[in-house]
Every structure is written in C-alpha cells, then in structure tokens.
Amino acid sequence: MNAPDDLMHVTFEMAFDRIARSRLAFEPSLLPHEIGTLASVSTGIAQVTGLPGIGYDEMVTFDNGTLGIAFNVDADEIGVVLLGDYATLRSGGEVRRTGRVMDVGVGDSLLGRVIDPLGRPLDGRPPVVCSQRKPVERPATSIMDRDPVTVPLQTGLKVVDAMIPIGRGQRELILGDRQTGKTAIAIDTILNQRNQDVVCVYCAIGQRASTVAKVVATLKEQGAMEYSVVVVAEGNDPPGVAYVAPYAATTIAEYFMGQGRDVLIVYDDLTHHARAYRELSLLLRRPPGREAFPGDIFYLHARLLERSTHLRADLGGGSLTALPIIETEAQDISAYIPTNLISITDGQIYLSPSLFELGILPAVDVGKSVSRVGGKAQRAAYRAVAGDLKLAYAQFEELETFSKFGARVDESTRQVIQHGQRIRACLKQAEHSPVSVAAQVMVLLTLTDCLFDTIPLDQMPDAETAVREAAVKIPTAIQDRLLTADSLSDFDRAEILKIAREALQPFQPHDLERQANNGVDS
C-alpha cells in the first residue's frame, strides 16, 4: 500500500471514529406536540376540540397557516378568535399549539412603516426586521414606577392648548358624532410633534382603506412619517384583528417609552374596537349585558389605557400619551361606551356637530370638554394669558343664547358678547396648520388684553393671521422664556403686546376709514 492510500485510509478511519462518538453522545429528546381538531367555523371564530394543555390567550395555527387566539377555554371545547382568512378552513382540520401568546415585533425599524397588528407590512415595502418581540397584552406600569405629569404635549391647536391642555403621560378622550373632525384633531397633534422628539403611533381600527390611505398620505406630505408608526386593522378584516390592533400598537409604543422617549398614541377609534369585541363575545356565546356588550368591556379598555403613563426618571423618564377616539350617536355622551371611557380617561375633548355645521372649526365644545391633568403641565405663559379665557367664553355662549330670543341687553352685556365673538374667531383654525407656542401666546395675550375688541368682526380672520405672522418678531430670548420660565414677566408681556399693536394697526377702524377716504380722493 502506497503513501496516498495510507493517507486516505487514515482519513476515513478518523471520520468514522468521529461519527461513532457523535452517535454515542446523541441523546434524542422527545417534544410532545398537541394536535386538536377543528370542530366548526363561523364569522371570525372557530370551535376546537382536543388540546387539553392549552392556556388562555395562547396562539394556535391551522392547516392554512391562519393564526388564532384561545379565547374560551372550556372543559370540552376551545373558542378560538381567528386572526386571518378563514374562508378555506374546514371542519376536521388539524389545529396545533404554538406554546406562546400573541406578540408583535418591536424596534426602531418600525418608524415610517405601515403594518397590520401581526407586524406584516401594508406599505408595499419589504418585511420589517425587528430586534425583539413582545406580548401584545402586558401588565400596566405599577404606581410606584410612575412620575407626575409635568410636561405639556402641545397639539398646535389654540383651543386645546389654551383651555384643554394635555400633558405627556395623560389619557385624553376625543369624542363626538360622526364627521365632526375627531380624527383631524389627532392628526394635527401628530403633525405638531415634528422636531419635538416625540414618537407617534397611529392605530386605525375598523376604518375604510381609503380613509387610512388619506391619513398616511397626509403624514407623508407633512413629513410626519419619519417619526410615526401606523398600525392598521381595516374594516373588512376579521373582528379578531380589530380586537388585537390597539394592544399591538400599545406594545410598539411601550418599546419606545422604555427607551426614555416621549410617545403619542392615537386609537381611531375604540367604538369599532368595542363592537368587534361584542361580535366575538356574542359568537362565543358569552352572556350579553347593557347594549348587548359583554360585562368585561370596561376592563377591556381599562387595561389598555392604563398602560399610558409617565415613567420615573431612574426608569428612563419616558412617557406614553393616549388620545383614544370614540363616536357618539345623536350627541349622546351618556351611552355605555362613552361613559366607560370618560371614567377611565383623564379628561375629554367633545366635538359639537352644531359648531361644525356653523363652520366653527375645530368644533370643540369648551363647556363639555375638560382636562383633569394637563393644567398641571401647562406652560406658565399659557396660564398667565388663558386663565380667564374659558370662563369668559362660557359666559359669552350663555349670553349669546339669551340674546337670540330678542331680549334687550345693556352695554356691559353687549361688550361681553362682542369680546366672546372675538374669542371664537381667534380660536378658529384651519386643518393641518398647527400654531407655534410663541404665536399662540401672542394671540391669546392680545385677546385677554382686549386689543381685538376694536377690530370689525369681518376683519378678524385677517387680523388674527397678522398677529400670528408677527410672532416671528418676538426676540429669541423672550421665545425661550415662554417655553421655560415659571411666569410671564411684565417686560415680556409689554414687548409682546407692542408687537401685537403694530400688527393690528392696519385693521383699526380709523385706519380703514382713512384708507377708504384716500382711495376716494385719488
């Protein structure tokens, strides 16, 4: 035998020796797999037999790859909420346990993306690669791990920031009838977070695809998608997807909050979420209660909104601010779901269809709206200039209603009405046009100092625009103090009013008359 043959022989011997050692060292492990049987399928739910070891909220997979969540765990049967296409499912098919609860991928790669509650992309781009996965149902932060709400979340809307302020970590409900501008307020708030280091999560629940596409297009046009995540459960999706959507969106938001960042989440809207849960509960034969909703509908939304908070500094100091939206019917805020959510949240912004029809936009009813926390976080400049604004506006609305009956009013009452009309005109604001803090303070200070009262009412829109545009003339040092100072000094107030008077000079009645005379003379 020559040398090459010897070398080949030794090589084979070594290879077989390693294979023998590996075979002896291998210990087969038996992993049990529970396989159940699909008993029946109906709209959005399935009944499954078998799977004796399954737990509540555990995920299962069906033959066609559809996922489901164990919702009813009974002795003989399991009620499963389906999270995908169930048209091809047939009785007798196999159902397998996954051993995990419903989770969603989280990470910075989600920014700028449009996804469904399962993390699948809806924007035509490649799948999202996430750094980790977290359960969609998570315990809320304990009370001892929370800090007070002390920092304002500016919406860019004058009527909200002045009279219904929102703090970072607060839960502020937006409610009103259909087509009164609820989503517009939430979108304007997202747009105003540009350059504010606030991550925004918009969760669309049961919305039409065209409506969601319009929102996404607006966010892209305004440059807001770079700091936003859009989670979508469309109206034609199974009810289980709509049920999971807000929890998945909140888990994504909590990831950024855990990094010490401020996060804003919008639920649009929880009325569709409650209806989806009612549909699932009735199909699973859970006992109905008031308005056919199951008895745990309050807990459903309480455990969702309780996750919004402001963390302690040693935990990163991040915050999660929630703006849930619900729809009322015929202005009935005493219905079951509205009263539930009003009691869960820290205040509400009510939108009136009457104001909307009159063209007073945003159609916020100041009398029925309240913020139970945001006043503590409101900037000192706002408290100085808007402290009596809400009372003056409420008095005006009462007197205006009284004067419509044709009653004669005295001069002081007439002045209150005229001042209130200027307040209303100044609080009007076009959609997608948030106003900076300096411009808002300047307009509000001009209002409270009654400088607008001499302006003809038909000139008010132009006069208010002129004052806002003149805010750029406020010295940088004063603008910085508006954001940080503990109070509005007399010097800063005088400087701002001086700029406002110059801006209003062309709109004073004698100037308008002089301009008209000059036109005639020429």
Active site residues: 372
Residue partners of 109: CB distance under 8 A and separation at least 6: 128, 129, 130, 131
d(CA 448, CA 461): 17
Q: Mapping DSSP to helix (H, G, I), strand (E, B) and coil, where does residue 221 land?
A: helix
- Give me 243's structure tokens: 């049920």
Residue partners of 22: CB distance under 8 A and separation at least 6: none
Provide the greatest CA pair distance for the chain.
Answer: 128
Q: Number of H helices and number of E strands within the chain? A: 18, 16
Phi, psi of 233 (to 5 degrees): -120, 105
- Give me 214's structure tokens: 């319009």
Phi, psi of 449 (to 5 degrees): -90, 5
DSSP state of 110: G
d(CA 271, CA 324): 10
26: Cα within 13 Å, side-chain hemisphere: 8
d(CA 108, CA 246): 19
Cross-strand partners of 441: none
d(CA 32, CA 99): 11
Q: Which residue has the tokens 């629940």?
A: 205
Packing angle, helices 437-448 and 411-427, rounded to 10: 170
d(CA 474, CA 467): 11
484: Cα within 13 Å, side-chain hemisphere: 6
Check: CB of residue 439 under 8 Å from CB of residue 371: no
Cross-strand partners of 320: 263
Residue partners of 426: CB distance under 8 A and separation at least 6: 158, 443, 444, 447, 452, 460, 464
Provide the Cα torsion 332, 335, 340, 344; round to 10°.
10
Nearest to 331 by CA among 178, 471, 185: 178
**What does the H/E/C string look like for 306-354?**
CCCCEECHHHCCCEEEEEEEEECCCCCCCCHHHHHHHHHCCEEEEECHH
d(CA 310, CA 112): 24
d(CA 392, CA 417): 9
